[in-house]
Amino acid sequence: MIDLKKFCYQYEDFPERFRQIGNPWSRHEYTFATDRKIIVRVPRIMGTHDNRMAPDALNLPWNDRPTLSADIPDLPESIMEICKFCEGEPVICEKPRFVCDDCHGTGIQEVLQDIEVAGTWYNSKYLRIIKDLPDYEFFPVSIAGLTPDQMRGKASHFTFDGGEGLLMPILR
């Protein structure tokens, strides 16, 4: 079984508006996890309860998958640097404890690298997560024959042994 937590919103101190996606939740026959850019669903995991504040992920376009898949290319190594926002001092205030939103309170952050797959651009962080999934297949939205304007708001699909997901591309 995969670790769904890596797909969740990962802040140490959650802004209230994102608290509902800090952990996986179940609804009907599925368990979901998301950070607003990537979402996965797997068959319902016993003990993972519904969260009525979580998004209604059942209504996403799970069945609008292109028929052709594409390989995710070899990805560059992650580049880590001192956070540009907090300059390595992530604790903004001790009482109440607020930490930097950009680096999740670590003082360092990954440099986001854009990678092209089949004519569509994605963040390397998410492609790396997908590529590590067992028996993944990736279905870029560009393979559906959409123009860049038609791709706006459309997600790319991926499947893996035990589930499926959606990833938002980077529009350029």
- What pLDDT is recorded for position 159? 96
- What pLDDT is recorded for position 142? 79
Q: Bridge partners of 121? A: 116, 170
Give yes or no: residues 84 and 29 share one domain: no
Give yes or no: residues 152 and 134 share one domain: yes
Which residues of the chain fall below pLDDT 70? 9-20, 90-102, 104, 144, 172
Q: In the structure, how many helices (H) and strands (E) does the chain have?
A: 2, 12
How many domains does one find in the chain?
Answer: 2
- What pLDDT is recorded for position 11? 56
Residue 115, domain member (yes or no) = no
Give yes or no: residues 59 and 128 share one domain: yes
Q: Please, which residues have CB within 8 angstroms of residue 106's CB and are 6 or more apart in sequence? A: 83, 90
CA 6 to mean position of chain CA atoms: 8
Tell me which H or E stretch contains 123: strand 120-123
Residue 54, domain member (yes or no) = yes
Residue 17, domain member (yes or no) = yes
Give yes or no: residues 64 and 129 share one domain: yes
Omega within 30 of 0 (cis) for the link into 169: no
Residue 100, domain member (yes or no) = yes
Range of 162's domain? Answer: 4-71+120-167
- What pLDDT is recorded for position 67? 86
Tell me which H or E stretch contains 159: strand 156-160
- What pLDDT is recorded for position 114? 92
Residue 172, domain member (yes or no) = no
Rounded Cα distance, 32 and 25, in Å: 5
Q: Alpha-carbon Rg of the chain, whole angstroms?
A: 17
Residue 11, domain member (yes or no) = yes
- What pLDDT is recorded for position 167? 96
Cα separations in angstroms, 141 against 38, 128, 167: 14, 18, 9
- What pLDDT is recorded for position 46? 92
